[in-house]
Amino acid sequence: MRSKMQALSENSPDLITRLNQQGEFFYINPMIEHYTGMKPDDFLNRQITEVSLDDAVKEGWTSILTEVEKENEKIERELIFPSNIGERVMQVNAIPEFDDEKRMESVLMVSHDITERKQIELEIQSKNRKITESINYAKRIQGAILPNNSVIICFRPAQSHIN
Protein backbone atom coordinates (compact mmCIF):
# COMPACT_ATOMS: atom_id res chain seq x y z
CA MET A 1 0.00 0.00 0.00
CA ARG A 2 2.79 2.40 0.92
CA SER A 3 4.55 1.81 -2.42
CA LYS A 4 1.31 2.53 -4.31
CA MET A 5 0.87 5.75 -2.36
CA GLN A 6 4.48 6.66 -3.11
CA ALA A 7 3.94 6.11 -6.85
CA LEU A 8 0.77 8.23 -6.81
CA SER A 9 2.54 10.98 -4.95
CA GLU A 10 5.55 10.97 -7.27
CA ASN A 11 3.29 11.48 -10.31
CA SER A 12 0.78 13.86 -8.74
CA PRO A 13 0.23 17.33 -10.24
CA ASP A 14 -0.07 18.57 -6.64
CA LEU A 15 2.86 19.57 -4.46
CA ILE A 16 3.01 16.98 -1.69
CA THR A 17 5.18 17.32 1.40
CA ARG A 18 5.53 15.43 4.66
CA LEU A 19 6.97 17.19 7.67
CA ASN A 20 7.67 15.97 11.17
CA GLN A 21 6.56 17.99 14.17
CA GLN A 22 9.86 19.86 14.22
CA GLY A 23 9.17 21.18 10.72
CA GLU A 24 11.70 18.91 9.03
CA PHE A 25 10.99 17.61 5.54
CA PHE A 26 11.14 13.87 5.21
CA TYR A 27 9.29 13.72 1.91
CA ILE A 28 8.60 16.13 -0.92
CA ASN A 29 7.48 15.10 -4.39
CA PRO A 30 9.11 16.18 -7.68
CA MET A 31 6.54 18.97 -8.25
CA ILE A 32 8.72 21.17 -6.03
CA GLU A 33 11.10 21.48 -8.97
CA HIS A 34 8.28 22.82 -11.17
CA TYR A 35 7.60 25.64 -8.70
CA THR A 36 11.08 26.39 -7.37
CA GLY A 37 13.65 24.87 -9.70
CA MET A 38 15.01 22.99 -6.68
CA LYS A 39 15.13 19.21 -6.40
CA PRO A 40 13.47 17.24 -3.60
CA ASP A 41 16.93 16.41 -2.21
CA ASP A 42 17.41 20.14 -1.53
CA PHE A 43 14.62 19.83 1.08
CA LEU A 44 14.97 16.40 2.63
CA ASN A 45 16.12 16.27 6.25
CA ARG A 46 16.10 20.08 6.48
CA GLN A 47 13.91 22.38 8.53
CA ILE A 48 11.38 24.67 6.84
CA THR A 49 13.45 27.63 8.02
CA GLU A 50 16.62 26.23 6.41
CA VAL A 51 15.40 25.85 2.83
CA SER A 52 15.70 28.48 0.11
CA LEU A 53 12.05 29.41 -0.25
CA ASP A 54 10.26 32.73 -0.14
CA ASP A 55 9.80 33.83 3.48
CA ALA A 56 6.01 34.03 3.04
CA VAL A 57 5.90 30.35 2.02
CA LYS A 58 8.09 29.31 4.94
CA GLU A 59 5.94 31.33 7.35
CA GLY A 60 2.75 29.91 5.81
CA TRP A 61 3.93 26.31 6.06
CA THR A 62 5.18 26.85 9.63
CA SER A 63 1.85 28.40 10.61
CA ILE A 64 -0.09 25.53 9.03
CA LEU A 65 2.10 22.96 10.79
CA THR A 66 1.59 24.71 14.15
CA GLU A 67 -2.18 24.88 13.66
CA VAL A 68 -2.46 21.19 12.74
CA GLU A 69 -0.45 20.28 15.84
CA LYS A 70 -2.71 22.46 17.98
CA GLU A 71 -6.02 21.27 16.49
CA ASN A 72 -4.94 17.66 15.91
CA GLU A 73 -7.12 17.53 12.80
CA LYS A 74 -7.06 18.32 9.10
CA ILE A 75 -7.07 21.97 8.11
CA GLU A 76 -7.38 23.74 4.78
CA ARG A 77 -5.75 27.08 3.96
CA GLU A 78 -4.94 29.18 0.92
CA LEU A 79 -1.33 30.22 0.55
CA ILE A 80 0.29 32.63 -1.90
CA PHE A 81 3.27 30.81 -3.39
CA PRO A 82 5.79 32.92 -5.34
CA SER A 83 7.38 30.58 -7.87
CA ASN A 84 9.42 30.29 -11.05
CA ILE A 85 6.18 30.38 -13.05
CA GLY A 86 4.79 33.44 -11.28
CA GLU A 87 2.80 33.95 -8.13
CA ARG A 88 0.51 30.98 -7.53
CA VAL A 89 -2.42 30.50 -5.17
CA MET A 90 -2.22 27.14 -3.45
CA GLN A 91 -4.99 25.42 -1.56
CA VAL A 92 -3.15 23.55 1.17
CA ASN A 93 -4.77 20.58 2.87
CA ALA A 94 -2.74 19.64 5.92
CA ILE A 95 -3.50 16.23 7.37
CA PRO A 96 -2.03 14.98 10.65
CA GLU A 97 -0.56 11.46 10.62
CA PHE A 98 -0.64 9.47 13.85
CA ASP A 99 1.45 6.62 15.21
CA ASP A 100 0.04 3.44 16.79
CA GLU A 101 -0.43 5.22 20.13
CA LYS A 102 -2.52 7.94 18.44
CA ARG A 103 0.24 10.55 18.81
CA MET A 104 0.79 12.85 15.89
CA GLU A 105 4.12 12.08 14.25
CA SER A 106 3.92 14.01 10.97
CA VAL A 107 1.81 16.25 8.78
CA LEU A 108 1.01 15.52 5.15
CA MET A 109 0.52 18.74 3.19
CA VAL A 110 -1.10 18.53 -0.24
CA SER A 111 -0.89 21.86 -2.08
CA HIS A 112 -3.20 22.19 -5.08
CA ASP A 113 -2.63 25.09 -7.49
CA ILE A 114 -5.92 27.03 -7.69
CA THR A 115 -4.53 30.13 -9.39
CA GLU A 116 -6.70 29.86 -12.51
CA ARG A 117 -9.83 29.26 -10.42
CA LYS A 118 -9.06 32.33 -8.30
CA GLN A 119 -8.51 34.44 -11.43
CA ILE A 120 -11.89 33.33 -12.80
CA GLU A 121 -13.55 34.13 -9.44
CA LEU A 122 -12.02 37.62 -9.51
CA GLU A 123 -13.21 38.17 -13.10
CA ILE A 124 -16.75 37.10 -12.15
CA GLN A 125 -16.71 39.41 -9.11
CA SER A 126 -15.53 42.29 -11.31
CA LYS A 127 -18.26 41.64 -13.90
CA ASN A 128 -20.91 41.37 -11.19
CA ARG A 129 -19.73 44.68 -9.72
CA LYS A 130 -19.93 46.34 -13.17
CA ILE A 131 -23.43 44.96 -13.77
CA THR A 132 -24.58 46.17 -10.35
CA GLU A 133 -23.08 49.61 -10.99
CA SER A 134 -24.87 49.75 -14.39
CA ILE A 135 -28.19 48.84 -12.79
CA ASN A 136 -27.74 51.48 -10.09
CA TYR A 137 -26.79 54.08 -12.74
CA ALA A 138 -29.91 53.21 -14.75
CA LYS A 139 -32.03 53.61 -11.60
CA ARG A 140 -30.55 57.07 -10.99
CA ILE A 141 -31.31 58.11 -14.60
CA GLN A 142 -34.87 56.81 -14.30
CA GLY A 143 -35.26 58.62 -10.99
CA ALA A 144 -34.12 61.86 -12.59
CA ILE A 145 -36.43 61.52 -15.62
CA LEU A 146 -39.59 60.11 -14.09
CA PRO A 147 -41.65 62.33 -11.82
CA ASN A 148 -42.01 61.55 -8.16
CA ASN A 149 -45.05 59.37 -7.37
CA SER A 150 -46.49 62.02 -5.05
CA VAL A 151 -46.57 64.48 -7.97
CA ILE A 152 -48.44 62.15 -10.28
CA ILE A 153 -52.15 62.97 -10.09
CA CYS A 154 -54.54 60.26 -10.77
CA PHE A 155 -55.83 61.09 -14.19
CA ARG A 156 -59.18 59.82 -15.34
CA PRO A 157 -60.43 60.80 -18.75
CA ALA A 158 -63.78 62.58 -18.81
CA GLN A 159 -66.68 60.36 -19.66
CA SER A 160 -68.45 61.22 -22.84
CA HIS A 161 -72.16 61.92 -22.67
CA ILE A 162 -73.54 60.43 -25.81
CA ASN A 163 -77.31 60.33 -25.95
Q: Which CATH number fits domain 2-113: 2.60.120.10, 3.30.450.20, 3.40.50.720, 3.40.50.300?
A: 3.30.450.20
The whole-angstrom separation of Cα 82 and Cα 19 is 20
Give the pLDDT band of residue 158 (cuts 50, 70, 90).
low
**Partners of 95 in beta bridges:** 108
> What per-residue confidence (pLDDT) applies to 126?
93
> What per-residue confidence (pLDDT) applies to 145?
85
Give the pLDDT band of residue 142 (cuts 50, 70, 90).
confident
Mean pLDDT of 119-133: 93
Give the pLDDT band of residue 6 (cuts 50, 70, 90).
confident
Mean pLDDT of 84-109: 93
What percentage of the chain exceeds 70 in pLDDT? Answer: 89
Mean pLDDT of 123-145: 91
Per-residue burial over 90-121, b if 16 or more Cβ lie within 10 Å, else e, is bbbbbebeeeeeeeeebbbbbbebebeeeeee
The whole-angstrom separation of Cα 61 and Cα 104 is 17
Q: Is the predicted pLDDT of residue 117 greater than 80, yes or no? A: yes
Q: Which residue has the higher pLDDT, 151 or 66?
A: 66
* pLDDT tens figures, 49-87: 999 999 999 999 999 999 999 999 999 999 999 998 899
Where in the chain are the domains? 2-113, 116-146
> What per-residue confidence (pLDDT) applies to 124?
94
Give the pLDDT band of residue 14 (cuts 50, 70, 90).
very high
